Structure formats: C-alpha cells, structure tokens
Structure 1
Amino acid sequence: MSSKKVIIIGAGLAGLSAGCYSRMNGYATRIYEHHSKPGGVAACWRRGEYLIDGGIHFMMGSQNGTDLYNIYRQLGVADPANFVPMKSYGSFIDIEGSRQLDIPLNISELALDLKMLSPADAPLIEDLATAVTAFSGKDLAIYGQMNPPELTSGLDKLTDMWKMRKLFKYMSGKYAKSMQDYTAGMQNRWLAECLNNLFTPQCPVWFVIMLLAIAADGQMSYLAKGCKDFVRQIEKRYKDLNGEVTYSSTVEKILVRDDCAFGVKLADGTEDYADYVISAGDIHNTVFHLLDGKYIGKKLQNKFDTCELSRPYFVASFGVKWTFENESVFNTLILKQPLQIGNREIRQIFVRIFNYSNHFAPKDKSVIQAEFETEWDYWDNLRQTDPNKYAAEKERLVSEILVNLEILYPGISPLVEIADVATPCTLNRYTLNHQGAPEGWGLTSQNFKEETRRSLEGLSNLYLAGHWVSGGVPGVILSGRQAIQLVCAKEKKPFFTRTT
C-alpha cells in the first residue's frame, strides 16, 4: 500500500472516477466537493413527488462485451437494472407545418424513410447510411481513449489508425465538416434541419455517424433511475474502496511550491496537503482562480481565445398528471411562434419525456422537460441587475413553453402540478462551470481537433479531469481514470484496475 496521498477537486463523474482508480492503486484519497452532494453536471433533484433529472440524457456501452462496459464494472455501475434500452433515436415535430419525422434505430429503415421523404436527396442519404453501416458492429464509444495523450506514443497512434483503417475515410474530408455544412446542399430543408439536430449542427458528421451506429447496435440506453442513482453507485464504490469525500467544501486555492502542487486551501481557510492534486472541475476556474492565472501555457490560452464553449441551456421541467404512453423519449419541437430571449429568437426546443421508467413520477404521472440553448450574458446580467425581472423572465418562458406543449397535448396545462426552471446561472451556482457551459468546450469540428492535455505547462503533480478535458459521459469518466494513470506513471508503478 502506497503512503502517497491524492486530493481530488470535485465529486462529479470525473472526480468520483479518479477517486475509485486512485484507491484501486493504493493512494490515500480525499475528494472536496463544492456542492452538498455528488454528481456535478450529472444532477437530479426532487420537487415534491417528482424527480427532476437535469443531467445525463443517454448512456453508451451499456451491454456486456464492450470496453466501456468493463469500465462500468470497475466503477460498480454495470448492473443491467441501471439501463433501459433505447427504442428510438427520437422524433422531429413541426407544429406549424404539421410534420413529424421519427428516427428509427435501424439504419436501413431510416434511409428508406428519408428517401421517401426527399427522393432528390437520395445520394446524400445513401452516403450517410453507408457510413453508419461501416461503423456498426465496432466498439467505438471509447476507442483510442484508454490512455491519456501524455502516455500515448506515436507508435500507439499508428496502431490505432491501422485498426481503424477501414473507417478512416469516414473521419476526414466531408465527414469532418459540421453537420450544417454537410447538409447545406440538400433540397429538402426540413430534412436538412432534422439531420442537423440529430446531435448539434456544429458537431462533425463522423460524430453523428458514430452515435447512429452505436444506437443501431443496441449500445445506447437511458438511466432507469436517473443520474442521481448512477452517481450514488459510483460514490458507494469509492467509499467501499475506503475513499474519503467532504461535501459543501469549496476549494479556494491550489497550493503550489517551486512549481509543484502540494495541496489545497478551502474557502474556510483550512489547508490540506497531498502528493498529487487532481482538478476534476472547471478548467477556467482551475487556471484563472485556483492558480491565479499561472501555468496556463500558450496552447491552452489560445484555446480559450479561439475555441467555442459549449452553449448553456435553459431547462424547464414539468410534473404532470399525464403518462405520454408510446411517445418518443427525445423530441425536437419546431415552434409555431418562436421564443424571444433578449435579441435572440428560439425557433425550436428539445423535449425530453421521462416515460421509460416509474422512478421519476408516481403512477399515472410523468415528467416532461423542455430545453434550449441560450446566452450566458443575458441571464447573468439579468440576475445581477434585477432579480425580480430574472424571476419574471423564467415565469414568462415557462408559460410560453406550455402554450407550445398545449398544441401537441391539448389540455395538459391544468394538469401541471409542478414547474421547475434551471438557467445557466443555476448550473454555475452549483457546479462553478464557467459561463454555465455544461460540457466545457463546444462539440465543434475545431474543438475535436484541439486536444486538451491532462496537465498544465510548468506545473508538476497536478492533473486535470472532467468535461473540459474530454466531453461526453464516457470521456468524462475516462478522464478521471487517465489522471490516475498519469500519477502511476510519475511514480513509475503499474496502473491497476479492479472489478466489483
């Protein structure tokens, strides 16, 4: 057993993952968490008899036989009861045009439906379907991410490229463009808009292809009990490994001596010392606040200067006396009347229906959730300058969202029992995420190319984990694992894993 100690900042998925792997490798470990409970961005909360899930939308690799499933086993969350298989990728509904497009998981069925909808766009549809078919049957969710960049040699990269050689053409050229650029020449603009929002319009085509392939392989699911239960299971795994965690403890500074991190100072003035520090939270907060703007380095500074952040969300959740039987879980709703937020019009909202499990609402009731991208500055300025207007704006949007839901579900408004709102300021308050950015960097083609390393220039014994390092649930979980791989490499000792 090592006598070395690791301090971890943040008890989100990345911090809990880092904690588990730290204990598996024999390090004394304590996590400090700003909030009163674990989860970070993967957050759930109670509103009366309803459970509001504001975190994980879907999970990948939930079936045995994948590298990601083995990671779940190591973290104690591989129980099949955690997952509800996805049956449909979702639906697009145009209220004004009375149009609806359902996205089945079967790619051949999807291609046929799309070609019937727009014969003129058949070449692009066939191209997309061919690419998804090529990706199907491959274990892709965490491919090439098992080791951090600092421990990945040129030979490792060449080996990975060789294994992926048959798919390489689908990772470059037109497939490296954003979805909105890829679909720019389509004749049917309604169909183009639907394809653009299979994930986000800014993300690269190959990423959407990968998601469709994973879904088609039956490796995509929902969390049966929400992300709260999922997070608590990882926390239990960490504690079972004798890891320690302190909640409601905000780290104010990372302690540094001779360009080496050696501990943390909490907001109450308490100091704790360790051989290694892992910041599993917001990188912007880590670099510019916890480290006073030092050690950012030219590459990371350039990334902050030139790369887009993930856009924050406004989320309205409703607990209703309605079951939504046979409705798609994920729905993109094209509004008849756009929502006006400051100087910006919101023409579509993402509607998530929690009808796949009885853990979110009592019998004969459900939670339905509407969200859309918004602007940090608008909400931050409103909250700081006029809290009453901030509250009134939230109420206005709840009312206007319900007006649109009423078109789809006549009579739903009087059946609403609770309404809960989270703005970008809400996320920032509980997680300290810079400008309410839920995933750090935006999932754009440029940001996929701009690799974020797990260490800072000129500073030893500090490693980074979380959304800013690697996006998405698999990447976040792996980033915690990778931080401990770097600790073990520094100690010149083998890295161990252990399953429950």
Structure 2
Amino acid sequence: MTNPKSVIIIGAGMAGLSAGCYAQMNGFDSQIFEMGDKAGGVCTSWKRGDYTINGSMHWLVGSAPNVKMHQMWLELGAIQDKMLVNHDLFFVLKNPGGKDFHFYTNIDRLESYLNHIAPEDKDEITDFIKAVRTFIEYDLPTEKAQELFGLFDGLKLIFTEFPMLMEAIKWSRISITDFVKRLKNPLLKTAFLAFWHPEMVMTTIIVTLAWLHKRTAGYPMGGSGAFIQSVVERYQQLGGYIDYHSKVEKIITYDDNAVGIQLANGKQYFADYIISAADGYTTIFKMLGGNYIDDTIKQVYTSFKPFPSIFYIALGIDEAFDELESTVVGYNLPLLKPLKIGNTVHERATVQIYNFDPTLAPKGKTLMTCFLATDYDSWEELYHQREQYEAAKDKVLSDFIENLLLHFPHITDKIEMKDCSTPMTYKNYTGNFRGSYEGWLPTPEASKIHIKKTLPKLHRFYMIGHWVETGGGLPPAAMSGRNVIQLICNQENKKFKSYISSVEAVML
C-alpha cells in the first residue's frame, strides 16, 4: 500500500479550508499553514466585551436546498447546525423630507414598488426585472470544475441555460454607473448607488436579487465566526491539521515544480502539491519572487481594481431596536455632516442593525456595524506615525457617531462598545493586497479575463480564492477550493469524492 499524496495549503480562509476538507475527503494528507491565530481570514468575528462583532457575512448563497451550491455547504459542514434568517428587505434608503426607499427581496413586490415610485423609468425597470427573473429560473452547474469541462459540457450548458447566458453577457458589460445614467428618478439613482460599488457590473445586483428572491441567500445565525468555526471543525474531523502563527515567506521550487514552503522562522515543509489560498500579489511576487508570470498576470496586477479598502465600525448599543424591520445589509443614512475617512468623503452610510441575531449581543442589546470605503495610501502613511494614526481613527469614529445620533437620538447614552478597523488592520490580519477585503472588483473590464489557478511553467502548484475568482464572497472562495482538488484528482487519475455529514440546517 502506497502512502497518500501530500498537500500543503497556505492560508486558512474559506478557500484554504475548503481545499483542505476536499483534500481529506479524497485521501490526500493535507496541512494548512495560517499566519494568524485563528482561521477564517476576512470571514471572521471577534469579541469586544459582551459583544461579538460579525466581520463580514450578510448573506450566504446556497443556504437553502433549491440550488446546487447548497450541497457544497453541507459537505463542508458549514450550515448543519445553523438557524438561517431570510429577510424581506435588502436595505432601506432613508430619505429626509420624503418617503424612505425600500429595496425588497421579493422580485414581484420590488417591481411593483419601483414602478410606483419611478413610473418615468418603467422601461429600464422592466429590463432590469426581466434579467433577475431569468436568473431565478436557472442554476449554474457547480458539481464540476470549469477547467475539466469538455465539449459536451459546454454544449449542454449553452443549450440548457442559453437565456441566462445571454443575460449574463449583456449585463456583465454594463456597470452600475452606466445603468444609473439611464434612470431619470433621483431617488432610484441614489438607491442603486447606495450599497454597491459604482464600477461593479450590474450582474452583481441581478444575481444577488435572484438568490434572495428564491430564499437561498439567508443569513446563518452567529455570523462569520460561528460559520467558519463549523468548517474548521469539519476539516479537523476529516483528519486535517492547521498550523497557526505560521507565516509562509517562500514557496520552494525545484526544476519548475513547487515542492515545499519556508516559514518566516526558517522551517521548511515539503509536499507533493502546494496550494496558495493567500494574497495573490504576495504569492506571485514575494513567495515565488515574480519568477512565474506572463502578460496576463502583469495585466491583472497592474490594471485590475481590487475591492476598496474599508474602515469598519462596530458599536454595541443598549437598545433592542425591535421597531425596525430586519434587512440583509442595513439602513442607508444621509450624513448631515459629511464624513471624511482618509482621502474619501462620504455623504451617506449604510448601518447594519443586528436586531435579528441575538447571539451577537446580550439580551435586549444590539450590535450595529458599518462598512465605509476609504483609500489605502493615506492609512498606510499614517500607520507609521502611531499617535496620528490612532487620532485619525478616533476622529472618524467620533464623527460617525455624531452623525448616527442625528438619526437615533434616543441612543445617545446607550453606546457601550466602540470598535473600528482600518485598511491597515485588514492588511496586517489577512495580508490582502492594499488592504482589500474581497479581491478583484467585478468591473466590465475584469469580467473579460479568466484568471487561471495555475502559473505559467510552474507545476504541482495552484492558487485559489478571491485573487483568481473575481467578484468576492464566500461561494467563489469555497468553490475554488473544491475545484482545485478536482484538478489534482484528475492529475492523479483519481475519481473525485465528496460527502456530507450530520443533519440539515433550519430555515426561518
């Protein structure tokens, strides 16, 4: 009997954990090296007093069994013990002096509402809603890695999902800014720019609404930390091992084969395959010294835009907020005093009020969070001047709370926990290029280029995660981990295996 082939995985984020789980399911001996003190990467939570701060998760595509992706989450042990919440509202746009705008998750209700408030935009609304309905009817294949598609697979996809493919092609060429330019109603314009980055493709909104309408993009109670811990436990139950506080500085190659890694402490480890779920720039240009690149890689890392760096605010409030409807992403508020963060000025901000997740705060109290885009360079410069850096953080937090109290004056004396993170927090904690929190931004330009999981002339090496899957989010990260083990199984002439454990999730 031969010894199992070994796999080293760099990074214990969602992509790395997924690759580890499927490696173990398929008889490989895997080991994950994580530079931090816990798994998850951006998909994480942390404690501040009696509050648990949800680091990233708003919705989970595949939370219900009516899409194929659900099977993957069961295989990863991610949702078996989770209560899943589906919201009727995606977000609410607060409109001083007028009626608030409600972005509903039910597409029929949304269509009626949009036509009621913006009859002058009926044609654009009809076109947009038609695209969402098209995506509702279809489910992209997730069982097989695209790299293994043959002619028959391609033809089957074209014939069975042709309408969806045509809509995807059409809307992937249109940015949110392009679409907003077509609209006449000012409130509708503001709403479409309220949450998404204006350079993102419209497909992002369309597919998200399709999933929300089907009630297959619910929120797992407990948020990011509880979710990722379930996957960690699944990996460990399968026999995998995570080395924490183990920063990889170099990927060791021999005759253009990846054969091992070297840690910051000088220790070396060797395996049959090396998979990097770490930051793409660090992997290619530092761990591998820029020795395995081509024109496409150069183009990606010089012209693609990453998701913006963010300033993240979390507040613990001695208030239940029972009177507010729950939402997927929150309440978009006008800032009566513009908020400057680094070199970015905000006139609106979206606050998520977790009145639907009692696990994040003591009884009768609520966690409130806010993501705010900012530039990276100004925070990097400040970081080396610690007093100014801390003062800048405190100023943003103070100015934000001042704005918040104009909308919620009754909580003036009820804010009992304050926390914030800057782009440098994300850079230090995850290693992400320029402090980005989700990899490459899905712009019309980025959607034209397929980023490979391999590097030119380097064998037995793969990259997974957000730097090879444009668009961000947990599903692409997890799928890239699943798919790469399919590729390795194919290389080893093994049949890919996957299986689930335990019971189904509970839907609310």
Give the aligned partner of residue 19 of structure 2: 18
TM-score w.r.t. structure 2 length?
Answer: 0.94
Residue-by-residue CA offset, 1:207-241 (whole Å, 9 max, x unaligned): 31111111111111112011111111111111111
Give distance in 2, aligned partners of 1:31 and 1:289.
19
Structure 1 residue 450: Cα displacement: 1.6
Give distance in 2, aligned partners of 1:8 and 1:458.
20
Give the aligned partner of residue 455 of structure 2: 456
SS of alignment partner, residue 291 of structure 2: coil
In the alignment, structure 1 segments of 5+ residues that lack a partner are none
- Compared CA separation, residues 226 and 174, structure 1 to 2 (3 A): closer
Aligned partner letter, 1:401: F
The equivalences for 1:335-350 within 5 A come to 335-350=335-350
CA contact (8 A) 2:343 2:378 kept: no
Structure 1 residue 100: Cα displacement: 1.5
- Compared CA separation, residues 336 and 250, structure 1 to 2 (3 A): same
TM-score w.r.t. structure 1 length?
Answer: 0.95
The equivalences for 1:76-115 within 5 A come to 76-79=77-80, 81-95=82-96, 97-115=97-115
Aligned partner letter, 1:399: S
CA contact (8 A) 2:260 2:268 kept: yes
Give distance in 2, aligned partners of 1:379 and 1:410.
31
Give the aligned partner of residue 191 of structure 2: 194
Matched, 1:398 2:397: yes
CA contact (8 A) 2:86 2:219 kept: yes
CA contact (8 A) 2:65 2:216 kept: no
Give distance in 2, aligned partners of 1:179 and 1:205.
5
Matched, 1:180 2:177: yes
Structure 1 residue 80: Cα displacement: 5.8
CA contact (8 A) 1:94 1:335 kept: no
Give distance in 1, aligned partners of 2:341 and 2:19.
39
The equivalences for 1:109-188 within 5 A come to 109-139=109-139, 143-173=140-170, 176-188=173-185
CA contact (8 A) 1:255 1:265 kept: yes
Aligned partner letter, 1:442: L
Give distance in 2, aligned partners of 1:344 and 1:149.
39
Give distance in 1, aligned partners of 2:163 and 2:124.
20
Structure 1 residue 65: Cα displacement: 3.4
Give the aligned partner of residue 240 of structure 1: 237
CA contact (8 A) 2:171 2:201 kept: no
Bigger mean CA deviation after superposition, 339-348 or 460-469: 339-348
- Compared CA separation, residues 80 and 115, structure 1 to 2 (3 A): farther
SS of alignment partner, residue 390 of structure 1: helix
In the alignment, structure 2 segments of 5+ residues that lack a partner are 502-508
- Compared CA separation, residues 94 and 397, structure 1 to 2 (3 A): farther
- Compared CA separation, residues 298 and 2, structure 1 to 2 (3 A): farther
Structure 1 residue 257: Cα displacement: 0.5
Give the aligned partner of residue 255 of structure 1: 252
Aligned partner letter, 2:326: S
Give the aligned partner of residue 317 of structure 1: 314
Give the aligned partner of residue 39 of structure 2: 38
Give the aligned partner of residue 327 of structure 1: 325
Residue-by-residue CA offset, 1:81-137 (whole Å, 9 max, x unaligned): 342222321111234x45421112222221222222122111111221222222224
Give distance in 2, aligned partners of 1:447 and 1:175.
10
Give the aligned partner of residue 284 of structure 1: 281
Bigger mean CA deviation after superposition, 117-126 or 260-269: 117-126
- Compared CA separation, residues 309 and 24, structure 1 to 2 (3 A): same
Aligned partner letter, 1:389: Q
- Compared CA separation, residues 452 and 175, structure 1 to 2 (3 A): closer
Matched, 1:7 2:18: no
Give distance in 1, aligned partners of 2:217 and 2:4.
41
- Compared CA separation, residues 279 and 327, structure 1 to 2 (3 A): same
- Compared CA separation, residues 400 and 318, structure 1 to 2 (3 A): same
The equivalences for 1:199-278 within 5 A come to 199-278=196-275
Give distance in 2, aligned partners of 1:332 and 1:248.
38
Q: Percent identity?
A: 32
Give distance in 1, aligned partners of 2:171 and 2:13.
36
CA contact (8 A) 2:342 2:379 kept: no
Aligned length in residues: 495
Residue-by-residue CA offset, 1:181-219 (whole Å, 9 max, x unaligned): 012021112211212345332222223111111111111
CA contact (8 A) 2:171 2:203 kept: no
Residue-by-residue CA offset, 1:9-65 (whole Å, 9 max, x unaligned): 011111110000000110111100010001011010000000011122211111123
Give distance in 2, aligned partners of 1:333 and 1:449.
35
CA contact (8 A) 1:58 1:220 kept: yes
Bigger mean CA deviation after superposition, 15-24 or 410-419: 410-419
Give distance in 2, aligned partners of 1:175 and 1:486.
27
- Compared CA separation, residues 420 and 227, structure 1 to 2 (3 A): same
CA-atom RMSD, angstroms?
1.7
Give distance in 1, aligned partners of 2:24 and 2:475.
20
Structure 1 residue 176: Cα displacement: 2.8
- Compared CA separation, residues 312 and 154, structure 1 to 2 (3 A): farther
CA contact (8 A) 1:8 1:15 kept: yes
Give the aligned partner of residue 376 of structure 2: 376
SS of alignment partner, residue 311 of structure 2: strand
Give the aligned partner of residue 57 of structure 1: 58
